[in-house]
Amino acid sequence: AQSVTQLDSQVPVFEEAPVELRCNYSSSVSVYLFWYVQYPNQGLQLLLKYLSGSTLVESINGFEAEFNKSQTSFHLRKPSVHISDTAEYFCAVSGRDSNYQLIWGAGTKLIIKP
Q: How far is the CB of 80 from another protein (least distance, A)?
A: 27
d(CA 75, CA 97): 22
Report helix, strand and coil shares of the chain as percent, to nearest 5.
5, 55, 40
Q: How far is the CB of 59 from another protein (least distance, A)?
A: 13
Q: How far is the CB of 100 from another protein (least distance, A)?
A: 5
> Among residues 83 and 106, whose Cβ is nearest to another protein?
106
> Among residues 66 and 88, whose Cβ is nearest to another protein?
88
> Which residues contact another protein (rule: CB under 8 A)?
32, 34, 36, 41-46, 49, 51, 90, 92, 94-95, 100-102, 104-107
d(CA 90, CA 8): 11
Q: How far is the CB of 38 from another protein (least distance, A)?
A: 8
Q: How many helices (H) and strands (E) does the chain have?
A: 0, 12
d(CA 81, CA 86): 9
> Among residues 15 and 44, whose Cβ is nearest to another protein?
44
